[in-house]
Chain A
Amino acid sequence: MDFLNAIVALSNFVLIPAIAYGSQLALGALGVTLIYGILRFSNFAHGDTMAFGTMATILVTWLFQSMGISFGPLPTALLALPFGILGCMALVLITDRAVYRFYRQQKAKPVILVIVSMGVMFILNGIVRFIIGPDEQRFADGERFIISARTFKEMTGLREGLAIKASQGLTVIVAVIAVVLLFWFLNRTRTGKSMRAYSDNEDLALLSGINPERVVIYTWLIVAALATIAGTLYGLDKSFKPFVYFQLLLPIFAAAIVGGLGSPVGAIAGGFVIAFSEVTITYAWKKVLGYLMPESLEPSGLVQLLSTDYKFAVSFVILLIVLLFRPTGLFRGKSV
């Protein structure tokens, strides 16, 4: 019984939150990695692109809610998501046309594009705050739990409760669908293959008649879709606040680099590595160990390696270790 309690406590506070958070990071890191692979620069504006897409989704959600449209037990935001993606696509195409294309034609060095993307980041940051304000916005509705802690306790008679929030289940399902679609697109369709070809060897791809502008546009469209999905899922699961999305940039980049920049599989693995490290290192293990260990060995302290305030430090440290010892990342992406 104690063993079961330990497993349930661990799932409730570590496994489930980390899986949901990992999926959100993986989707974000996929966007970063695609831009790096195909456009060949680190897009610092990615966090704010997520914020913009989420904002568009939220505005449409509010419109739907005011019109009385709902999605039954599922959040209305899911219905609004396609519109949010369209809004975000329009935004990235405009920024590409207005900003990035100029530097691409100049054959600017990647480092210049990185700085340019920082400029874009600050402007997007301002636009999002200007439109929706810097405060926290809640837009989740529908059923809150797949299973709540109280029901679980009554069902099983265990001392520990297990809660799975609807937003967590949704995050995982939507992330899986998005990733399957993305891989199908990259591996099976003509455009996807041309994108991979362009990423592998730009000159060879140009010689074989691939239109680079088309590849770039498709990349941006996919990135906009991924960013909006990641941002909306994060917002549903936690809450939407523009500044938080800006801060998410660090774990997302850590995930993309740990997995190997330019490698989609790596981005997904990296997302989960970062999420699990952040959660396990800042978790206080007292309860779980208390169930597992004999009474005499029960820990009296909290058994918490780092205070939760240092969550972002964990991603930093992992990032540093990977860059020092394996600069190409776990899945042999491009070296940074």
Chain B
Amino acid sequence: MKKLLMATAATALMAGSAFAASHGKEVKIGIILGFTGPLESITPDMAAGAELAMTEVNDAGTLLDGMMVTPVRADSTCIDAAAASAAAERLVTSDGVKGIMGADCSGVTGAILSNVAVPNGVVMISPSATSPALSHQNNEDNGLFFRTAPSDARQGVVMTEILMEEGVKDVAVSYVNNDYGKGLADSFQAAFEAAGGTVTISAAHEDQKADYSAEVGALASAGGERLVVAGYVDGGGSGIVRAALDTGAFDTFHFVDGMVSDTLTAKFKGEIDGSMGQVPGTDSPGASNFEKMAGDAFNPTGPFAKESYDAAALIMLAMQAAGSTDPQVYKDKVMDVANAPGERIFPGELAKAIEILAGGGDIDYVGATAVELIGPGESAGNYRQITYKDGEEVTVKYR
């Protein structure tokens, strides 16, 4: 009986190790995005962007001496934290992923991080979560969370810089009444006041109302040289601008990324001349490389597709730099590969990057979005500063 038990145990062990050996040359990376829900129209391009990076590495076949990368998709739903956590739990415990590219929306990203990634010790790199609440200044994330999208707090700083250079010291702020608008308005106010400016009023507006003249009445009463509109062009933001122009309360505006679009210029044409704004954007050559690589397979200019490519690439390059697929080991290498010093790496050069890392060299991953990770591991953020002239959007510079 004792012998039988021993034999069974030994067989089981051997089977187990044989199983492990046959899969030893494969590493799984989870892609968790809202394939259903309010972002379902852009997530396929994001996933395709991430998978493009994995295909590129697999084609080279040199990652950790021939390791193959397999993507595993899961649905974050964007809004349902419980469903997203369950999906991520499945990725980690059942599929055994060694890193997660995701999630997309700030709310579910926070939920997955605290419920799944931190307890299981898995690295997460989000391409699109921008909430300032995800900046873990005190290492609450055990160094496991990174993002290739900038925090909205960064946009507040960029706005402040633009306005200060213009010599604008007094502004009124109207923000859309949700996490995005409130977070952006708060971070802007903090940055602007620290720089010596005055926010005369910071008032919320609701989306989808018929009439914003009452809101604009309050903004006009408080006064200011410019009206900062932190909202959506398809929602209340345009209504505020319309009412402000109609009543003559404000002539010039400052727009955030939710407002700057072709719709805005189509709606207001020359009426907003002299206004300014900023949107995430970069003039780095990486973006065009990425677009060429993607070809017709998917839409490479889709929102956050480039950030997704960079997030996936960072996970794999960090593994190579650490010489291990263990998240606890390679998490410390993410910042190293993303930032200087080292050879600058653009999309399509992942094989070269792996070769350099394998040879003990250093790389500075630039990628499709000019990645530069700062603070607690989030993108420094590159913004395109724009102004309006003769009813057209004009790029002033990149910052």
- A: which residues have CB within 8 A of B? 9, 12-14, 17, 136, 144-145, 148-150, 152-153, 161-163, 165, 234, 237-241, 243-244, 278-279, 282-288, 302-304, 307-309, 311
Contacts and interface: CB of A to CB of B under 8 A. Distances in A.
B218 interface: yes
A234 B213 CA distance: 13
A287 B208 contact: no
B220 A13 contact: yes
Contacts of A14: 217
A70 B223 CA distance: 39
B329 to A, nearest CB: 51
B204 interface: yes
A284 B239 CA distance: 19
Interface residues of B, number: 23
A307 B201 CA distance: 12
Contact of A12 (B206, B211, B218, B247): B247
Interface string B293-317: 0000000000000000000000000
Contact of B221 (A17, A279, A286, A311): A286
Nearest to A288: B221
B247 A308 contact: no
Contacts of B215: 308
A12 B221 contact: no
A163 B213 contact: no
Contacts of B217: 13-14, 17, 279, 282-284, 308
Nearest to B238: A136
A148 B214 contact: no
A12 B248 contact: yes
Among B208, B222, B247, max chain A CB count under 10 A is at: B247
A302 B221 contact: yes
15 contacts: A14-B217, A17-B214, A136-B210, A148-B248, A149-B248, A153-B248, A161-B248, A163-B248, A234-B210, A239-B210, A239-B239, A283-B214, A283-B217, A284-B222, A302-B218
A150 B206 CA distance: 28
B218 A284 contact: yes
B3 interface: no
Nearest to B242: A239
Contacts of A150: 248
Interface string B186-213: 0000000000000001011010111101
B247 A163 contact: yes
A311 B248 contact: no
Given A17-B217, A283-B221, A287-B221, 14 more contacts: A136-B208, A153-B248, A162-B248, A163-B247, A163-B248, A244-B210, A282-B217, A283-B214, A284-B221, A302-B201, A303-B221, A308-B214, A308-B215, A308-B217
A161 B247 contact: yes
Nearest to A145: B246
Contacts of B222: 284, 286, 302
A284 B249 CA distance: 13
B218 A283 contact: yes
B210 A308 contact: no
A238 B221 contact: no
A35 B163 CA distance: 56
A238 B214 contact: no
A142 B210 CA distance: 20
The 6 closest A-B pairs by CB, nearest first: A149-B248, A161-B248, A284-B221, A238-B210, A238-B211, A13-B217
A171 to B, nearest CB: 13
B214 A282 contact: yes
Contacts of A149: 246-249
A241 B235 CA distance: 13
Nearest to B239: A239
B92 to A, nearest CB: 40
A299 to B, nearest CB: 10
Given A238-B211, A287-B223, A304 B248 contact: no
Interface in B261-291: none
Nearest to B217: A13
Contacts of A311: 214
A9 B222 CA distance: 13
A308 to B, nearest CB: 4
Contacts of A239: 210-211, 239
